[in-house]
Amino acid sequence: MASEKDLRFECERCGKCCSDEKTIVNLTYNDILRIKEALGLNLDEINHILAFYVFEEEPTEEDKKKMVISPIETEQGLAFVGLRKRPDGTCYFYDQKKKKCLIYNARPNFCRTFPFSFEVEDNENDQERKGSPVKMKYTEKGRQYCPGIREDNPLINKKKWLELGKKTIEDLNKNYFIFKEWNEKVKNGEVEASAKNFLKMILKLKE
Ligand code: SF4
Ligand code: SF4
């Protein structure tokens, strides 16, 4: 396994990240808008390609703080917004025969950044920052099953990945406030908690 210091990765196009039963492709509002635009979908069609993954047990406030994308209030309860899965657990957009993503150019940030996660460096005195406010590491899922993380694979182009990380963090920050606003509106009784109402709100936004 490659170390966290010298990150090594080369995608082997094995499709595990697109077909792992337990991997949920979480979406931001920008992901939804990008896919909608790329495929020219209407509200019902967007609703069809999405899934609202309801929590079996209500997460605590502490749990929620650790979540990269906040869950939203729906008619079924608190849920993660993600891409729909096929009954066998593969992503709705994964072509198993051709082993490729059918929405590659519009794929969600989750897929663009896999198998890495990014966060803002919070230690002001860290000498290792080297001018970058963003730090990155392998995701837990990446470490679990991505064969592209290997000691004998090339070092990544860190500059390129960190640029992607920076954009991703900006997107996640904007998304945080939009999902928060939705949840507050539901709690205040200003809007009925339904997936369709949520999507109507998203579709009024710009990427
Ligand atoms: S699991 Fe890793 S190697 Fe396989 S397709 Fe996904 S990113 Fe590429
Ligand atoms: S959107 Fe594409 S890249 Fe992402 S999980 Fe689905 S098939 Fe894979």
50 lines ligand 2 (CB under 6 A): no
- Ligand 1 centroid–CA 41 distance in Å is 28
Residues (pLDDT < 50) of the chain are 127-130
pLDDT of residue 65: 78
Tokens at residue 14, please?
Answer: 């094995």
Give pLDDT, residue 42. 95
Collapsing DSSP to helix, strand or coil, 130 comes out as: coil
Q: Judging by beta carbons within 10 Å of its beta carbon (0-12, 13-18, 19+), is residue 41 exposed, middle or buried?
A: middle
Burial class (CB in 10 A: 0-12, 13-18, 19+), 169: middle
| Domain limits, the chain | 16-104+128-199
pLDDT value for 36: 97
Q: For the purposes of burial, counting CB atoms within 10 Å of the CB of 149, is it exposed (0-12), middle (13-18) or buried (19 or more)?
A: buried
Distance 127 CA to ligand 2 centre (A): 37
Whole-number Cα distances in Å, 66 to 24, 27, 55, 135: 16, 16, 15, 17
Output the furthest CA–CA distance in the chain (Å, rounded).
55
pLDDT of 67:
86
Q: What is the pLDDT of residues 137-154, one digit of tens each?
A: 999 999 999 999 999 999
- Distance in Å, CA 92 to ligand 1 centroid: 17
pLDDT at position 190 is 97
Adjacent-strand bridge partners of 91:
85
What is the pTM for the complete model shown?
Answer: 0.90
pLDDT at 128: 47
For position 129, what pLDDT does the model report? 41
